[in-house]
Structure 1
Amino acid sequence: MTPRDAADDSSDNHGTPAAGGRWSDLERPPLNPASLRRGLVREGGLWSEVDVVQRTGSTNADLVARAEAGEAAEGAVLVAEEQTAARGRLDRRWTAPARSGLFFSVLLRPAAVPVARWGWLPLLTGVAVATGLSRAAGVDTALKWPNDLLVTVGGEERKAGGILAERAGEGGVVIGVGINVSLRADELPVPQAGSLALADAVSTDRDPLLRAVLRALEEWYGRWRDAGGDPAACGLQEAYAAGCATLGRRVRAELPGDREVVGEAVALDGDGRLVLATEHGVQEPVGAGDIVHLRPARD
């Protein structure tokens, strides 16, 4: 048992779980850091270290700070059992009960890939997360452009996860992932949210789920990096399009500057932008903004 593992093992003097300790919710056991390291950190592999902390504000903020201070190598993984100041796109804040999900960040340094293609990293991560969860949880997932993970609960699309990428000094990118795993209906932050448990996952054991997601991310990142970041050559563009619930839908794009564009999402271009066919007969690529699914285009 490492010092970090020992610090996580909290109980009172009678051998019963302390309030808020690692076994305070037996339906949500803690992650096993030693097992995760054995399964993920290997010679020649991408993942260089795996750290698990009990509680932090934001794994992204922590890992960005470590990267900029020169204290983290490519492949560093930081996982939190609970986040108190997690951030999404547009600096939105959200929280979730301790050990109810997977909240982690990874540090990548794609030096061999032109910076112009780094915008594909959040989309790549989405494909990897969907791939890993499909394998380990048996859940059919879909991707809402650009960075949301959707599951089906009671025949309805629900958001169960999100991705946030941030630059970390020169040559570094930190990608944060949050996935609702065992969140119950009465714990949902909003009615439109979902979780793997509510989507009837065959497993909500977070250790194998995290390993599956990180192995899929290592595989896709390696293919993308080896192709010089070319999304078509490595199959990423095709894979994202195949799993994207936004394509073929009538959507509203809420863009910076309080501008809106309504149209059918018809394609994903080579830069990862969503291409909308508007009612004015033009195709407009959208690189940033909020996308609202209005209804399937066929309706």
Structure 2
Amino acid sequence: MTSAFPRSEALAARLVVLDETPSTNDMLVSAAADAAWPDLSVVVTDTQTAGRGRLGRVWVSPPGTALAVSVLVRADASLRIDALGWLPLAAGLAMTRAVRNELPGRDDVVLKWPNDVLVGGLKICGVLSELVVGAVPSVVVGAGVNLTMTQEQLPVPTATSLVVAGAEHPDADRLLSTYLGEFRGLLDAFRAAGGDAGASGLQAAVTDACGTVGSRVRVELPGGNILAGIARGIDVSGRILVQADGSPDLTPVSAGDVTHLRAR
């Protein structure tokens, strides 16, 4: 079945295309201990029956209407453990660029911190990364992007798809190959810089694509506390910097559920 993804197959170290699977992330997490799955192995399907989003949310879609893809990234001497938190941001940036490529007439495709992709303020893609601890630590980076869902098929009013956003004939292989190419390029530069997001240009590129920066936001922090203010930037650790209402200081946020209250 890989013939359906010839361009993507040329970019992946190993590409497995499944007719259906409960979760591409779960499959790759289970396979990570096997050396037969090298760095930048990819599992993809257009029918995922038990996908997961952030905070344990269920991610499902009608068969054949969305693309679920997981990429295995092996940590090595050039990618230290404390730099792995940048991988979902890099993946989100790569998918933002891939979606922009599919929607050339739109200028409102942005990255929402930490790793959602929005079109016109509506979510078209989410990214979920999982650390796999073993002899060689690895990260499985999963992404789910809505391709051909109609307005009626979208799970929530805040979601969209390529078709709803104006793409007449979404090309899954083109989208996936663009995503893999962008992700690989960002990862190569990041590794070459020893996992330094500033020196590699990753920090600046993510900040530039991030619609959260400059927006008024509401952040639900772990534990239930709420932080409201203006997102001012992204620091070298990948944290969003929020200037809380009434405060001159910037609060770094490493984890939280972000709502855009007003676009920049």
Which TM-score band (shorter chain)?
over 0.9
Mapped partners of 2:157, 2:182: distance in 1: 30
The structure with higher relative contact order (CA 8 Å, sep 6+) is 2
Structure 1 contact 136–203 (Cα < 8 Å) conserved: no
Q: Which stretches in structure 2 are left out of the alignment for 5+ residues?
A: none
Alignment partner of 2:155 out of 185, 189, 194:
189
Q: Which stretches in structure 1 are left out of the alignment for 5+ residues?
A: 6-32
Mapped partners of 1:248, 1:126: distance in 2: 18
Q: For residues 7-62 of structure 1, give each alpha carbon's deviation from its aligned partner in whole angstroms, at most 9, with x where no partner exists.
A: xxxxxxxxxxxxxxxxxxxxxxxxxx1252x43455xx6x2111111111110011
1:201 to partner: Cα distance? 2.3
Alignment partner of 2:254 out of 271, 287, 292:
287
Evaluate the alpha carbon distance shift between residue 182 and residue 35 of structure 1 in structure 2; reply closer, same or farther with a 3 A threshold.
Answer: closer
Alignment partner of 1:89 out of 51, 54, 57:
54
- My pick for the range that moved more, 214-223 or 127-136, is 127-136
Structure 2 contact 8–173 (Cα < 8 Å) conserved: no
Q: SS of the counterpart of 1:68?
A: coil
Q: Does the alignment pair 1:148 with 2:113?
A: no
Mapped partners of 1:136, 1:296: distance in 2: 23
Q: What's the counterpart of residue 168 of structure 1?
A: 132
1:81 to partner: Cα distance? 2.0
Mapped partners of 1:273, 1:69: distance in 2: 32
Q: Does the alignment pair 1:159 with 2:123?
A: yes
Q: What's the counterpart of residue 63 of structure 1?
A: 28
Q: What's the counterpart of residue 239 of structure 2?
A: 273
Mapped partners of 1:294, 1:73: distance in 2: 42
Q: What's the counterpart of residue 201 of structure 1?
A: 167
AA in 1 matched with 2:253:
V
Mapped partners of 1:159, 1:270: distance in 2: 26
Which protein shows a greater Rg?
Answer: 1
AA in 1 matched with 2:160:
G
CA RMSD of aligned residues (A): 1.6
Q: For residues 63-91 of structure 1, give each alpha carbon's deviation from its aligned partner in whole angstroms, at most 9, with x where no partner exists.
A: 00011344522111001121111001111
Structure 1 contact 160–194 (Cα < 8 Å) conserved: yes
AA in 2 matched with 1:74:
D
Q: What's the counterpart of residue 7 of structure 2?
A: 39
Q: Does the alignment pair 1:132 with 2:132?
A: no
AA in 2 matched with 1:263:
G
1:134 to partner: Cα distance? 2.0
Q: For residues 116-145 of structure 1, give each alpha carbon's deviation from its aligned partner in whole angstroms, at most 9, with x where no partner exists.
A: 111110110111111122234425410111
Mapped partners of 1:289, 1:119: distance in 2: 14
Q: Does the alignment pair 1:220 with 2:186?
A: yes
1:273 to partner: Cα distance? 0.3
Structure 1 contact 74–108 (Cα < 8 Å) conserved: yes
Q: For residues 245-268 of structure 1, give each alpha carbon's deviation from its aligned partner in whole angstroms, at most 9, with x where no partner exists.
A: 111111111011111111110110
Q: What's the counterpart of residue 249 of structure 1?
A: 215
Structure 1 contact 255–289 (Cα < 8 Å) conserved: yes
TM-score when normalising by structure 1: 0.82
Evaluate the alpha carbon distance shift between residue 106 and residue 248 of structure 1 in structure 2; reply closer, same or farther with a 3 A threshold.
Answer: same
Q: For residues 189-235 of structure 1, give each alpha carbon's deviation from its aligned partner in whole angstroms, at most 9, with x where no partner exists.
A: 01111011111125412121111111111111111111111112121
AA in 2 matched with 1:34:
S
TM-score when normalising by structure 2: 0.92
Mapped partners of 2:160, 2:9: distance in 1: 31
